[in-house]
């Protein structure tokens, strides 16, 4: 199966599943993000193996952050994540590894924060009142539109490199194409609910997503280049690993949540 065909198959199966569980919310969404977090962390810690991350501490810290969202919102999210520091330090004292504490604990905490906090903020967006479902859908569809149109615009018109050292395949033309698509999705998503989120706020949200998404993508690209890895995994065929699909969301969900709070949502 070619990479393009496998990408289409994974998208056709995965997108309805993700949207369905986001629609249900609650513990259904928790189950989705918990599984995604564990797989993504497995991929990240596999890439970061030379740094000797303390994997159990990272898994537990990310899960505590996600459980915290369900039990008490953003305060408990942060509290659950902060436990990663203590867990990593204690495990480092028990582990027989040659890597220094700075490298192994830092890699552990970064993975738990990157994945756990990012996915936790998606859950927070879904729980916003009065239209958390709409907010979460708008964020996800905007990310997917950005990724798709940036890819095709870059392939068709790309001439000027966006970040030649970090990700040579990305172009400014692709960024513009992705931004236009993102703004269109947020405009349409909130058009019927202008009393909830005025058009100018919807467009600002779209702009935030259009910027945060590529930054998240470039962040993972920089890590993979540093660790000499092409893809985080092969679980999703042509899409690469789960972390390759989540990289933009992990930055966007945080940026979108606080943008919505700034607009008085929730």
Q: For 185-203, how does the pLDDT look when each residue is reduced to its tens digit (9 = 90+)?
A: 999 999 988 889 999 999 9
CA distance 21 to 136: 11
Least confidently predicted of 46-55, 73-82, 98-107: 98-107
pLDDT at 34: 97
Tell whether omega for the bond before 130 is within 30 degrees of 0, i.e. cis. Answer: yes
| Residue 72 CA from chain centroid, whole number | 21
Least confidently predicted of 119-123, 168-172, 177-181: 168-172
Q: Which residue has the higher pLDDT, 128 or 102?
A: 128
Q: Which two tokens stand for residue 32?
A: 């989705």
CA distance 32 to 246: 13
C-beta atoms surrounding 224 within 10 Å: 21
pLDDT at 230: 79
pLDDT at 266: 76
pTM of the model: 0.93
Q: What is the DSSP letter of 99?
A: S
pLDDT at 217: 94
CA distance 62 to 118: 10
Q: Compute the chain's Rg from CA coordinates.
A: 18
CA distance 221 to 254: 19
CA distance 236 to 14: 10
Contact between residue 249 and residue 216 where contact means Cβ atoms under 8 Å apart: yes
pLDDT at 12: 82
pLDDT at 3: 58
pLDDT for 60 beyond 80: yes
């Amino acid at each position: 199966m070619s990479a393009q065909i496998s990408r289409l198959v994974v998208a056709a199966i995965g997108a309805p599943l993700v949207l369905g569980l986001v629609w249900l919310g609650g513990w259904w969404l928790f189950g989705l993000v918990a599984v995604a977090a564990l797989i993504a962390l497995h991929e990240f810690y596999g890439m970061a193996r030379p740094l000797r991350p303390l994997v159990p501490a990272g898994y537990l810290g990310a899960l505590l952050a996600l459980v915290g969202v369900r039990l008490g919102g953003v305060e408990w999210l942060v509290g659950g994540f902060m436990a990663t520091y203590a867990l990593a330090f204690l495990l480092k004292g028990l582990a027989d590894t040659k890597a220094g504490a700075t490298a192994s604990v830092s890699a552990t905490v970064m993975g738990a924060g990157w994945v756990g906090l990012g996915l936790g903020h998606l859950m927070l967006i879904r729980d916003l009142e009065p239209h958390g479902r709409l907010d979460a859908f708008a964020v996800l569809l905007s990310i997917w539109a950005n990724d798709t149109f940036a890819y095709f615009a870059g392939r068709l018109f790309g001439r000027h490199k966006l970040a030649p050292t970090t990700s040579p395949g990305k172009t400014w033309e692709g960024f513009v194409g992705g931004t236009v698509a993102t703004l269109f999705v947020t405009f349409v998503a909130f058009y019927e609910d202008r009393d909830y989120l005025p058009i100018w706020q919807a467009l600002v949200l779209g702009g935030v997503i259009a910027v945060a998404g590529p930054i998240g993508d470039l962040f993972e690209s920089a890590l993979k280049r540093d660790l000499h890895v092409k893809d985080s995994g092969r679980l999703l065929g042509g899409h690469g690993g789960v972390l390759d699909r989540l990289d933009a969301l992990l930055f966007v969900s945080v940026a979108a949540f606080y943008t919505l709070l700034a607009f008085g949502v929730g």
